[in-house]
Amino acid sequence: METQETQFDFEFNSFGNKRKLFTRSQWREKGRMVDARDVDAVKIITTNAGHQLRLFSFEQTVER
């Protein structure tokens, strides 16, 4: 029985650096679901408007 490795293409930010962290909705657009609580986010960014963006890594997701 063959096993297939899932290859995931990451996006690049405006500086040309590879992005590895995405929000829940961005992972959902990529066909993955975040399997972690909000407090387990890899990084939390607070915007100028005071909103918090929780970023999750590929390892915290599962295939939908």
pLDDT at 12: 80
pLDDT at 3: 47
pLDDT at 46: 93
User: Domain residue spans in the chain?
Assistant: 24-59
| pLDDT tens digits along 8-64 | 566 787 788 888 899 999 999 999 999 999 999 999 999 999 999 999 999 999 998
Between 12 and 5, the more confident residue is 12
Which ranges in the chain belong to alpha helices (H)? 24-29
Instruction: Please say whether the beta carbons of 23 and 33 come within 8 A.
Output: no
Instruction: Please say whether the beta carbons of 27 and 20 come within 8 A.
Output: no
Phi then psi dihedrals of residue 29, to 5 deg: -65, -25
* pTM, to two decimals: 0.75
Q: Which residue has the tokens 């963006």?
A: 53
C-alpha to C-alpha distance for 51 and 6, rounded to whole angstroms: 33
